[in-house]
Amino acid sequence: MSKIYRKGILALAIGSAFTLSSLAHADIVIGVAGPYTGASAAYGEQFWKGATQAAADINAAGGINGEKIKLVQGDDACEPKQAVAVANRLVDSEKVKAVIGHFCSSNTMPASEIYDEAGIISITPASTNPKITERGLTGVFRMCGRDDQQGIVAGDYIVDTLKAKKVAIIHDKDTYGQGLADATKAQLNKRGVKEVLYEGLTRGEKDFNSLVTKIRASGADVVYFGGLHPEAGPLVRQMREQGVTAKFVSGDGIVSADLVTTAGGPQYTKGVLMTFGADPLLNPAGKTVVEALRKSGYEPEGYTLYSYASLQAVAAAFNGIKGTDGAKAAEWLKSHSVNTVLGEKSWDSKGDLKVSDYVMYEWDDKGKYNQLP
Amino acid sequence: MSQTSSSFDLKVVLRDTLMVGLVSLILFGPIVGIVLDGYGYNVEPGRVGIMVAVVMAGRFLLSLFGQTAKGRDWIESFKRNDGGVHVLPPGHKSNLRFILPIIILVAIAFPFLATKYWLTVIILCLIYVLLGLGLNIVVGLAGLLDLGYVGFYAIGAYGLALGYQYLGLGFWTMLPLAAILAAVAGAILGFPVLRMHGDYLAIVTLGFGEIIRLVLNNWLEVTKGPNGIAAPSPTFFGIEFGRRAKEGGVPIHELLGISYNPNATMIFIYTVLFLVVLLVLYIKHRLTRMPVGRAWEALREDEIACRAMGLNHVLVKLSAFMIGASTAGLAGVFFATYQGFINPASFNFFESVLVLAIVVLGGLGSTVGVVVSAFVMTLLFELLREFGDIRMLVFGVLMVVMMMWRPRGLIRIARSGFAIRKGVAP
Amino acid sequence: MDGIFLQQLVNGLTLGSVYGLIAIGYTMVYGIIGMINFAHGDVYMVSAYLAAIGIALLSVFGLHSFPVLILGTLIFTVVVTSVYGWAIERIAYKPLRNSTRLAPLISAIGMSLILQNYVQLAQGARQQGVPTLLDGALRLHIGEGFVIITYTKIFIIVASIIGMGLLTYVIQKTTLGRMCRATQQDRKMAQILGINTDRVISYVFIIGAAMAALAGVLITLNYGTFDFYAGFIIGIKAFTAAVLGGIGSLPGAMLGGIILGISEAQFASLVNSDYKDVFSFSLLVAILIFRPQGLLGKPQVTKV
């Protein structure tokens, strides 16, 4: 009986594969892939809100080459294994012509390979790991900066503005965190500052006291942390508790109001510095979009507008080549610039943005962050 | 129901229901009813009400049912400790004779019909079948709870990626090598710890699995740490299946002069994997009928008796451990080549739990059960992708309920029976 | 260097006393029914949420003085967590008392998954935190260096000692404690002597959960942040501590916790914090191989 079970499921599987593939032909289907479940689900929602708003606006303005955009979700839950399955499903079952995604760098890595193999373009609004565009794939783009660009901004700031002599570099042993820490380290070394401490901490832990004591012993006057807010919060708190007054500098992984919650109050996060893209809410081009999103009851935070801009770029490329061919669209994007909600954007031959716009932010004593002049 | 319920002790039923309601109010009240938001909170009494009501209604029905004769039998059946295996009558012919050829036919036809997506899903299913079969030997047959099983899986996967990176070894060299590597790792771990009491073993293996993952994550110079590492695609005597040749071979579509088929890589992996699964199934089938297989099961049932009979328990356990580990190593190689990229995040504790759940739900020791539950589980995961958050909860509930309802799994081990033939040497 | 060494000692001591409190739950359950309560780490996690909820609730009612706030939270957390401990035993372990040896262990893993995902679904996946309640620190100068001990840490160490003392009193001096010890030594004999062993086992789970709740409140105060996954790592570390001290032995659990905490801090300080967890797991494996009965445990004799 059990074997019949298996056969039935197989039949079901094959059957549904056929029905799925025969569904989508009328419109231009574009996949929006990211974590819609799991710990990073909030970022997936940002992707989806931004993309749906963009699709609605573009469709209202006539669509792509007269055809309407239809978006489909792909949930990778920030697990590489699921990203592969989702990428294949988007390519084969949904017949997407382009993909906006993914979020986690470790997911974008294997998934973009599948998109490239299938000859469709993919634009990630958030994956900053440098390796993504360093693998010779022709159809992979990003709408955000790279960790090494972020590292340069942070490194220069530490040397030029903070005039630090002793820098401790801490990372969370994850693709994003360590990549960022290494990029900053490289820039610091280039500028002649050798780090006094370079160590990792374990994600999910909360006790960093022994590490903090080590930082204290090293006499660092700046601590650079590559990682996310769940670890950054307790780390900065335990530093202050042990009387370490060194400046705390980090990247775009701590851009969340939860940083204050996890640190035990704004008295600990006051003065924390971080690099992040120039505030898109300040950009005049985005004003109407921001208003439209706010009207629908959604505050366009984080990567919402990056996702919006990614879809704009796809639409512009398809309109530019009067078709949906991936290879031609990739060529078009590399030779033209697109006017997006984030401003004028253009890409180099690897698919990276030609100009990155990372700037420094500082957290104040009320638990908010402000762009430094 | 209302007419017959007068013969029941309704008071007991109501008392039970109220008690359960009170307890669930204490349990769910704070956690479900008060949702933290920053340093403040939002009150959501509606959810608590629904949960308490559901629990109370469930308890009420259960108590009512428990008062009927049928219900009493049913509750008794939980307490019964259904022991061991059941022996089939001599000369029993399994239905598998008819079903097996059909499945093989379906499996052969499958790659020609399916899209790439379904190919990848079925490949994943087969990888879990391999993992389940391996762990089934360790947990199901030998009764050793191994919570670090994913460590051997990681050894296989990283074996392929690192072997390719540093030694230039390809898929075919690494396939047997990874199995041997994992088996050696199993022996190194197993030898000192296998004298231990069962529960200690679970913790030590858990620690070992975590050590492997942590080392992969921290040993940047070799494994590239959390950034992960690329794994090569399989080749077949210098023939490649990608769009462009990467290993210096010839892409198959150029060789045969046909148009490029993006499914080719997956079809090839699927074919090899399917053959390997069949091979492992056969080996396992034979092993359980050999003395060593009998010894595993005997040791699981009563270790003291076995040692009294002169069985070398360490060697027997070690063999189970090594065979289980080598199967995981094989699965790891397929996983790496299928995904083309691996990082330590794929080998965390939950992966071990998932494989354990497959084995437990399928029936500890039952091969058919493991194959079925690996398919059901993986397909369920794919089909219920939208219910991502709930599926792990469902998983946990399944594990607890299964242990109460059928501690030996859905499909119990059936042992073939033999009649003694007169006048013929057996 | 002196100051640094002492500071690491203090770091290890606070971490270790917390490990010890959670380890008690493992060690008592193991002592009495011989199973690893895998869900115990997650009971601690639930209690951390309860502590934060308690603090949030009481703050809204206008209670801001530290002793009242902490006492109220403690009582609330201990009571509710104890009910959790009791319910878990009732649902997942009691029906399996006479089942196969693997069954309760697998059911415990299932229970751990249930608790984690239940809390995640109810409270969301984001990081949670509590505000800092006890500000300030003690600063001791030693030679050229100095040691900073926050008041929260002093509070943790004191509260752990009081909790341990209370527990030792209950186990050594009261009828309940005598029943627990009798059941631990020989369950069948205790049953014959008229002890309701099922009830004693329930009490043990309640006591274990209460100690985990104490740990939950203390840890939440000290680190100020937690998530639904927090029980896993700390649960394994606490189990290591229980094994290190000798499973089944109460003072052993505390001692094991403190030794583990201190050696982890010193390892991170002297060698490298990247491999800190590898070190603790290796320590666990080494102990189980060379001294399975732990530091204070009695060697187990298998009757044949």
* pLDDT at residue B6, rounded to an integer: 44
Flag whether pLDDT at C143 surpasses 60.
yes
Instruction: Report H helices in chain A.
Output: 2-23, 41-60, 80-88, 105-117, 147-160, 175-190, 209-218, 229-241, 258-263, 266-269, 287-295, 304-321, 326-335
**Among the listed residues A267, C106, A328, the one whose alpha carbon sits nearest the alpha carbon of residue B400:** C106
Is 1.10.10 the CATH number for B113-407? Answer: no
* pLDDT at residue B1, rounded to an integer: 41
Cα–Cα dist B389/B394, whole Å:
9
Query: In C, which residues are within 8 Å of A216 by CB distance?
Result: 4, 7
Same domain, A159 and A273: yes
Residues C50-96: tens digit of each pLDDT: 999 988 888 877 767 778 888 889 999 999 999 999 999 988 888 88
Flag whether pLDDT at B381 surpasses 60.
yes
* pLDDT at residue C304, rounded to an integer: 41
Same domain, A366 and A221: yes
Question: Is residue A10 situated within a structural domain?
Answer: no
Residues B295-337: tens digit of each pLDDT: 888 888 787 888 888 888 888 888 988 999 999 999 999 999 8
Number of domains chain A contains: 2
Query: In A, which residues are within 8 Å of C223 by CB distance?
Result: 206-207, 234, 237-238
**Among the listed residues A78, B381, A207, A258, the one whose alpha carbon sits nearest the alpha carbon of residue C124:** A258
Cα–Cα dist B273/A41, whole Å:
34
Flag whether pLDDT at C136 surpasses 80.
no
Checking phi first, is residue B168 left (phi over 0); if not, alpha (psi -120 to 50) or beta? Answer: left
Written as six digits, the tokens of B280 are 């492992």
Average pLDDT score over residue span B209-228: 82
Contact of B346 with chain A, judged by CB distance below 8 Å, is answered with yes
* pLDDT at residue B106, rounded to an integer: 84
Cα–Cα dist B131/B157, whole Å:
13
**Among the listed residues B269, B196, B38, A362, the one whose alpha carbon sits nearest the alpha carbon of residue C284:** B196
Residues A25-39: tens digit of each pLDDT: 468 899 999 888 766
* pLDDT at residue B84, rounded to an integer: 54
| Count of CA atoms in the C-beta half-sphere (13 A) of A134 | 8
| Residue pairs between chains A and B whose CB atoms are closer than 8 Å | 123
B423 falls in which pLDDT band (50, 70, 90)?
low
Average pLDDT score over residue span B349-374: 84
Cα–Cα dist A179/B225, whole Å:
10
* pLDDT at residue B279, rounded to an integer: 92
Handedness of CA B244, B250, B252, B255 (dihedral sign): positive
* pLDDT at residue B329, rounded to an integer: 93
Amino acid at residue number C23: A
The verdict on a CB contact (< 8 Å) between B382 and A85 is: yes
Same domain, A258 and A292: no
Average pLDDT score over residue span A277-299: 78
**Among the listed residues A97, A79, A83, the one whose alpha carbon sits nearest the alpha carbon of residue A25:** A97
Peptide bond into A102 cis (omega under 30): yes
Query: In B, which residues are within 8 Å of C292 by CB distance?
Result: 196-197, 200
The mean pLDDT value of chain B amounts to: 80
Average pLDDT score over residue span B174-179: 90
Amino acid at residue number A344: E
Residues B241-275: tens digit of each pLDDT: 766 666 666 666 666 766 666 677 788 888 889 99
Tell me what percent of the residues of chain B surpass a pLDDT of 90. 12
Written as six digits, the tokens of B210 are 């975590």
CATH number at residue A238: 3.40.50.2300
Cα–Cα dist B239/B203, whole Å:
45
The three-state secondary structure class of A129 is coil
* pLDDT at residue A3, rounded to an integer: 42
Same domain, A239 and A158: yes
| Count of CA atoms in the C-beta half-sphere (13 A) of C34 | 15
Tell me what percent of the residues of chain A surpass a pLDDT of 90. 9
* pLDDT at residue B323, rounded to an integer: 92
* Nearest chain C Cα distance for residue A365, angstroms: 14
The verdict on a CB contact (< 8 Å) between B35 and C124 is: yes
Provide the CATH number for the domain formed by C1-303 in this structure.
Answer: 1.10.3470
Q: Which of B113, B228, B338 comes nearest A109 by C-beta?
A: B228
Name the segment(s) of chain B with CATH classification 1.10.3470. 113-407
Flag whether pLDDT at A130 surpasses 60.
yes
Give the angle A205-A207-A210 at the CA atoms, nearest 5°: 125
Nearest CA in chain C to A43: C126
> Using CB atoms within 10 A of its CB, is residue A223 exposed (0-12), middle (13-18) or buried (19+)?
buried
Model ipTM value: 0.83
Residues B101-120: tens digit of each pLDDT: 888 888 888 877 777 778 88
* pLDDT at residue B422, rounded to an integer: 66
* pLDDT at residue A7, rounded to an integer: 45
* pLDDT at residue B121, rounded to an integer: 85
Flag whether pLDDT at C277 surpasses 70.
yes
Same domain, A274 and A288: no
**Among the listed residues C111, C87, C81, C85, the one whose alpha carbon sits nearest the alpha carbon of residue C29:** C85
Please state, as a whole number, how many other Cβ atoms lie within 10 Å of the Cβ of residue B310.
Answer: 6
Which of the two residues, B354 and A32, has the higher pLDDT score? A32
Cα–Cα dist A45/A43, whole Å:
5
Domain ranges of chain C: 1-303
Query: In A, which residues are within 8 Å of B243 by CB distance?
Result: 117
* pLDDT at residue A23, rounded to an integer: 43
Question: Is residue A17 situated within a structural domain?
Answer: no
A9 falls in which pLDDT band (50, 70, 90)?
very low
- Domain boundaries, position A211: 148-278+359-371
Cα–Cα dist C201/C29, whole Å:
8
The verdict on a CB contact (< 8 Å) between B117 and A17 is: yes
B385 falls in which pLDDT band (50, 70, 90)?
low
Cα–Cα dist A107/A128, whole Å:
12
Taking the model in full, what pTM does it have? 0.83
Please state, as a whole number, how many other Cβ atoms lie within 10 Å of the Cβ of residue A284.
Answer: 7
Q: Which chains form contacts with chain B, at 3 or more CB pairs under 8 Å?
A: A, C
Q: Which residues of A328-341 are buried (b: 16+ CB within 10 A; e: fewer)?
A: bbbbbbbeeebebb
* pLDDT at residue C81, rounded to an integer: 93
Question: Is residue A1 situated within a structural domain?
Answer: no
A16 falls in which pLDDT band (50, 70, 90)?
very low
**Among the listed residues C300, C289, C256, C42, the one whose alpha carbon sits nearest the alpha carbon of residue B203:** C289
The verdict on a CB contact (< 8 Å) between A3 and B103 is: yes
* pLDDT at residue A26, rounded to an integer: 62
The verdict on a CB contact (< 8 Å) between B345 and A3 is: no
Instruction: Report H helices in B68-115.
Output: 69-79, 96-113
A18 falls in which pLDDT band (50, 70, 90)?
very low
The verdict on a CB contact (< 8 Å) between A110 and B341 is: yes
* pLDDT at residue A5, rounded to an integer: 45
Length reported for chain B: 426
* pLDDT at residue B183, rounded to an integer: 93
Same domain, A108 and A199: no
Same domain, A192 and A289: no
The mean pLDDT value of chain A amounts to: 83
Nearest CA in chain C to A263: C224
Number of DSSP helices (H) and strands (E) in chain B, helices first: 17, 8
Cα–Cα dist B219/A67, whole Å:
51
Tell me what percent of the residues of chain A surpass a pLDDT of 70. 92
Query: In A, which residues are within 8 Å of B101 by CB distance?
Result: none
* Nearest chain A Cα distance for residue B331, angstroms: 14
Cα–Cα dist A352/A124, whole Å:
10
**Among the listed residues A223, A222, A151, the one whose alpha carbon sits nearest the alpha carbon of residue A184:** A151
Which of the two residues, A269 and A283, has the higher pLDDT score? A269
Residue with token string 């009851």: A297
Phi, psi torsion values for A346, nearest 5 degrees: -145, 155
Same domain, A88 and A119: yes
Q: Which of B41, B193, B393 comes nearest C118 by C-beta?
A: B393
Residues A222-279: tens digit of each pLDDT: 999 988 888 888 899 888 888 888 889 998 888 777 788 888 888 888 888 888 877 7
Same domain, A312 and A346: yes
Nearest CA in chain B to A13: B118
Cα–Cα dist C17/C13, whole Å:
6
Return the C-alpha torsion angle A78, A82, A87, A89, nearest 10: -140
Least confident of A36-45, A178-187, A257-266: A36-45
Return the C-alpha torsion angle C16, C22, C27, C30, nearest 10: -150
* pLDDT at residue B248, rounded to an integer: 62
B82 falls in which pLDDT band (50, 70, 90)?
low
Cα–Cα dist A84/B343, whole Å:
13
Flag whether pLDDT at A299 surpasses 80.
no
Average pLDDT score over residue span A9-18: 45
* pLDDT at residue C83, rounded to an integer: 93
Handedness of CA C189, C195, C198, C200 (dihedral sign): negative
Checking phi first, is residue B62 left (phi over 0); if not, alpha (psi -120 to 50) or beta? Answer: alpha
Residue B68 has what DSSP assignment?
S
